[in-house]
Amino acid sequence: MTSLKSTGGRPLKGRFVVPGDKSISHRSLILGGLAVGETTIEGLLEGEDVLATADAMRMLGSEISRDENGIWHARGAGIGGLAEPEDVIDCGNSGTGARLLMGLTAGHPIRAVFTGDASLRRRPMLRVTDPLTLMGAEFHARQGGRLPITVTGATRATAIRYVLPVASAQVKSAIMLAGLNAAGETTVVEPHPTRDHTETMFQHFGVEVRVVDTPDGREITMVGQPEISGRPIVVPGDPSSAAFPAVAALITEGSEIELPGIGINPLRFGLFETLVEMGADIAIHNRRTEAGEPIADLTVRASELQGIEVPGARAPSMIDEYPILAVAAARARGVTVMHGVGELRVKESDRLGAMARGLAACGVRVEETEDTLTVHGGNRIEGGATIEADLDHRIAMAFLVLGLAAEQAVEIDDASPIDTSFPGFADAMRSLGGTFEAGDVS
């Protein structure tokens, strides 16, 4: 384990180039590795999660490479042309990669075995395997639908109409990827809008996608068995990663930072909307569009935050950002109540429980239920605790940010999971003036 601790006292200043969006990076490799001809990808996140997806696509017959300028190149055999992998596909810590790749292979007449690290093997997959079974695939899994899982893809994938029991971009995307090789129209209905990168990426590659709002929810319909060819892609900065330096600047007195080229897709921007409601000074400028995705530059300045009620309906647009929102709430005046966050219990770790325990250890009053997190904020954060990250990159980064505003250093027991989504996080934060150093845990 590689422990790390952070200490407060210095304002953050400068320009912070955030790594590429993880969700879009996964989808770029999958669609680019499926399409006929060459797809070029600029700004791909080169974290462990995404690199695992690149390896998986190679095992499925795609040509994936990186040139000396950092541009990635992908070539595929077209829809229906996946090769059966000769070995087990290891998705590491990536739930996104595992679920999307299972969807892709479920629609093809091949067999593949998926596994992951200890954290991923604990995460349930039935939400994905249930609808994919309706499309003709078969799954053999551990108890509770957990990895390792053997996928036997459909001989002829069946187009379905599926109403999601719980809003989930990963489940929606897995069904749509399986639907690529199904004749006819596949429809997914989600009760609340979730991130729409898959719909946008499909359209960028020429797949016919229709989206309408209905009394039952948001209905996404795609036409299967299209001819898709390679496309250029520019991956925006990940708003989930941008959340960490942004909150660090907000809660550290005298700070002002620039975050260029951040994805501002409204279905991913719930955290920033919430922070502005709390009184955050966040300026959005130079708006533009790349490969169908809205992008802008952000300026973030230290602010006096006020606790608020965060509605449960906002959860799909910020589900990965609640750990860092809890850190902002610890510094805000008054009480912040986050509703509809039960999904956090089945992420890389039980993030709801991890944040509650860690905040309490740092002297912050906090209460949790199965579906809510309440943080009693204030100007004083004691710190002085060692936090168990539980192999969760977002828990690790959230508490390192908390240490920048605490009276005593905050240490995490293992910083190595951070590389799954934000390689070079500590060095980048140091470049802004943050104090990060090796911890005492061995």
In SS3 terms, the chain reads as: CCCEEEECCCCCEEECCCCECHHHHHHHHHHHCCCEEEEEEECCCCCHHHHHHHHHHHHCCCEEEECCCCCEEEEECCCCCCCCCCCCEECCCCHHHHHHHHHHHHCCCCEEEEECCHHHHCCCCHHHHHHHHHCCCEEEEECCCEEEEEEECCCCCECCEEECCCCCHHHHHHHHHHHCCCECEEEEEECCCCCCHHHHHHHHCCCCEEEEEECCEEEEEEECCCCCECCEEECCECHHHHHHHHHHHHHCCCCEEEEEEEECCCCCCHHHHHHHHCCCEEEEEEEEEECCEEEEEEEEECCCCECCEECHHHHHHCHHHHHHHHHHHHHCECEEEEECCHHHHHCCCCHHHHHHHHHHHCCCEEEECCCEEEEECCCCCCECCEECCCCCHHHHHHHHHHHCCCCECEEECCCHHHHHCCCCHHHHHHHCCCEEEECCCC
Q: What is the pLDDT of residues 55-69, one digit of tens each?
A: 999 999 999 999 999
Q: Looking at the domain that runs over 22-208+221-234, which CATH code has it been given?
A: 3.65.10.10
Q: State mean pLDDT over 180-185.
A: 98
Q: Residue 45 pLDDT > 90, yes or no?
A: yes
Dihedrals φ, ψ of 21, to 5°? Answer: -60, 125
CATH superfamily, with its number, for domain 4-20+236-438: Enolpyruvate transferase domain (3.65.10.10)
Q: Residue 254 pLDDT > 90, yes or no?
A: yes
Which of the residue ranges 177-191, 290-304, 341-355 would you say has the lowest mean pLDDT? Answer: 341-355
User: What is the distance of C-alpha 254 from the center of its chain?
Assistant: 30
Q: Residue 442 pLDDT > 70, yes or no?
A: no
| pLDDT at residue 380, rounded to an integer | 84
Within 10 A of 214 (CB to CB), how many other CB atoms are there? Answer: 8
- The answer to whether the beta carbons of residues 328 and 359 sit under 8 Å apart is no
Please count the CA atoms within 13 angstroms of the CA of 183 that sit on its side-chain side.
2
- Angle CA 112–113–118, to nearest 5: 150
Positions annotated as catalytic residues are 320
What are the domain boundaries of the chain?
4-20+236-438, 22-208+221-234
Q: What is the pLDDT of residues 216-250, one digit of tens each?
A: 899 999 999 999 999 999 999 999 999 999 999 99
Measured between alpha carbons, how far is 219 from 433 in angstroms, rounded to an integer? 46
Q: Which residue in 239, 342, 224, 336 sits closest to 284, CA to CA?
A: 239
| pLDDT at residue 441, rounded to an integer | 63
pLDDT band (50, 70, 90) for residue 345? confident
Structure tokens at 210: 């229709």
Q: Residue 409 pLDDT > 70, yes or no?
A: yes
| pLDDT at residue 316, rounded to an integer | 85
Measured between alpha carbons, how far is 246 from 328 in angstroms, rounded to an integer? 10
Within 10 A of 126 (CB to CB), how many other CB atoms are there? Answer: 13
Q: Residue 406 pLDDT > 80, yes or no?
A: yes
Q: What is the pLDDT of residues 73-107, one digit of tens each?
A: 999 999 999 999 999 999 998 999 999 999 999 99
Q: Do domains 4-20+236-438 and 22-208+221-234 have the same CATH topology?
A: yes
Rounded to two decimals, the pTM is 0.87
- The answer to whether the beta carbons of residues 383 and 408 sit under 8 Å apart is yes
- Angle CA 11–13–16, to nearest 5: 130
Tell me the average pLDDT of the chain: 94
Measured between alpha carbons, how far is 235 from 2 in angstroms, rounded to an integer? 30
User: What is the distance of C-alpha 381 from the center of its chain?
Assistant: 28
Measured between alpha carbons, how far is 43 from 72 in angstroms, rounded to an integer? 9
Q: CA-CA distances (angstroms) from residue 200 to 150, 160, 310, 346?
A: 29, 20, 27, 27
Q: What is the pLDDT of residues 119-173, one digit of tens each?
A: 899 988 999 999 999 999 999 999 989 999 999 999 999 999 999 998 899 999 9
| pLDDT at residue 115, rounded to an integer | 98
Q: CA-CA distances (angstroms) from residue 152 to 36, 61, 371, 409?
A: 24, 17, 35, 50
Report cis status (omega within 30 of 0) of the bond before 193. no
